[in-house]
A and B are shown apart, each in its own frame.
Chain A
Amino acid sequence: MAAGLGFKDFVTGEVLTAADVDGYLMQGIWVFASAAARDAAVTSPQEGNFAYLKDTNVTTYYTGSAWANLDTTGMTNPMTTTGDTIYSSSGSTPARLGIGSTGQVLTVAGGVPTWATPAGGGGKVLQVVEGILTGNVGSASATFADTGLTVTITPTLATSKVLVIASCSSVMKTAVNTNVGLKLLRGATQIFYNDYIAHTGGSVANNVGSVSLVKLDSPATTSATTYKVQMANMAATGTTLINEYAGAAGNTVTSSIIAMEIGA
């Protein structure tokens, strides 16, 4: 079989020779029943010859020394799952890197890429949210009840800590022998407790100003998490209050609760 001669633009009246046919016209993709049929027909293949084999549905080409399969010399796709990526595991060998988890970042370990949970900034504040309570809240019950001072935070990482700072303003009892109880809760779970606030041992009113509830919490979740303050009138007599006010015009007493996500 003649070697391919490339491309020729035949002109009107030009005589088509055997060499033209073999070198130009026969240089398409030949179709054979099998490799054996190809080898029987093409006894002297030339570099650049192509043959399609019907039994295996493979296109072959002659390298100059052997027939090679065109269809299998490309990269075999190693990906199997949405989000997979491909990297070289060794030289030109492709390998699959499966999709990582939410929040993970791409890093390098042992010379190849891998998904890993980030360190989270090493104690840095990742986000801050605040809740405000305006208007006074009173209790005549020894049962702890919601004050309305609440904040919701959605941690970006399950390893993060959440620093919760609640400042209850103008905390007082009226002129009875009781005291104020305050709780800080994550959802329904108590994480901080304080009572005997504003206690006098007698029947006089007592306003102790601001009371802070501070807790470094480890919620271990990336779901929305609500922190809230509850209050009780420990002796269930008279009234215990937060945000009590003197009534000065233009001045509103507020309490606040701040949640800060701290990277682990």
Chain B
Amino acid sequence: MAKGYEVLEMLCKGVEYVYRGENYEDIDWLDKKPAITKNEFEAGFAQYDAWKAEQDAAQAAAKAALLDRLGITEDEAKLLLS
């Protein structure tokens, strides 16, 4: 189950807010105007896992492509950064 801040990160990139709790009413929109509706927020909990998996897959693919282009393994990359 996603947490409120994870749903907000997914739906409200670049929006300034503070929230104290897990409910839509707990969000203090510092821009004064709500960036999303309560329905969008509540629906976001069900969408988050798929979105996160997509993000992780895209990141993994990008990393693999980079390693392939450099012609090194992940372990060799870690060694270079150590």
Chain A interfacial positions (CB closer than 8 Å to B): 135-143, 145, 147-148, 174, 231, 236, 238-239, 241, 247
Please name all residues of chain A whose beta carbon is closer than 8 Å to the beta carbon of B6 when the two chains form the complex. 174
Would you call B5 and A174 a contact (CB within 8 A)? Answer: yes
CB of B25 within 8 Å of the partner chain = no
- Chain B residue nearest in CB terms to A141: B16
Choose from A135, A136, A141 the contact partner of B30 (Cβ within 8 Å): A141
A139 to chain B, nearest CB (A): 5
Would you call B5 and A239 a contact (CB within 8 A)? Answer: yes
Choose from A140, A174, A247 the contact partner of B16 (Cβ within 8 Å): A140
Query: Within the assembled complex, what's the spacing in Å between the Cα atoms of A234 and B61?
Result: 30
Choose from B1, B4, B9, B21 the contact partner of A174 (Cβ within 8 Å): B9
CB of B51 within 8 Å of the partner chain = no
What are 21 of the A-B contact pairs (CB < 8 Å)? A135-B20, A135-B21, A136-B3, A136-B4, A136-B5, A136-B20, A137-B18, A137-B20, A138-B5, A138-B19, A140-B16, A140-B18, A141-B16, A141-B17, A145-B28, A147-B20, A148-B20, A174-B5, A174-B6, A238-B9, A239-B5
Query: Within the assembled complex, what's the spacing in Å between the Cα atoms of A137 and B4?
Result: 10
- Chain B residue nearest in CB terms to A203: B59
Please name all residues of chain B whose beta carbon is closer than 8 Å to the beta carbon of A147 when the two chains form the complex. 20
Chain B interfacial positions (CB closer than 8 Å to A): 1, 3-6, 8-9, 12, 15-22, 28, 30
Which secondary structure characterizes the binding site on chain B? mixed
Would you call A239 and B8 a contact (CB within 8 A)? Answer: yes
B1 to chain A, nearest CB (A): 8
A177 to chain B, nearest CB (A): 14
Please name all residues of chain B whose beta carbon is closer than 8 Å to the beta carbon of A135 when the two chains form the complex. 20-22
B18 to chain A, nearest CB (A): 4
**Given known contacts A135-B20, A138-B19, is B30 in contact with A143 (CB within 8 Å)?**
yes
Please name all residues of chain B whose beta carbon is closer than 8 Å to the beta carbon of A241 when the two chains form the complex. 5
Please name all residues of chain B whose beta carbon is closer than 8 Å to the beta carbon of A236 when the two chains form the complex. 16
A126 to chain B, nearest CB (A): 32
CB-based closest 9 A-B pairs:
A141-B16, A138-B5, A239-B5, A145-B18, A137-B20, A139-B18, A141-B30, A135-B21, A140-B17
Apart from A136-B5, A137-B20, A147-B20: 8 A-B pairs, beta carbons within 8 A: A136-B3, A136-B4, A136-B21, A140-B12, A140-B16, A141-B16, A141-B30, A236-B16
B21 to chain A, nearest CB (A): 5
A247 to chain B, nearest CB (A): 8
B39 to chain A, nearest CB (A): 20
Query: Within the assembled complex, what's the spacing in Å between the Cα atoms of A139 and B4?
Result: 11
A245 to chain B, nearest CB (A): 8
- Chain B residue nearest in CB terms to A142: B16
Choose from A137, A138, A142, A145 the contact partner of B8 (Cβ within 8 Å): A138
Would you call A137 and B16 a contact (CB within 8 A)? Answer: no
- Chain A residue nearest in CB terms to B27: A138
Query: Within the assembled complex, what's the spacing in Å between the Cα atoms of A55 and B12?
Result: 96
Please name all residues of chain B whose beta carbon is closer than 8 Å to the beta carbon of A137 when the two chains form the complex. 18-20
Would you call B5 and A145 a contact (CB within 8 A)? Answer: no
Query: Within the assembled complex, what's the spacing in Å between the Cα atoms of A145 and B30?
Result: 9
Query: Within the assembled complex, what's the spacing in Å between the Cα atoms of A137 and B5?
Result: 9
Would you call A239 and B9 a contact (CB within 8 A)? Answer: yes
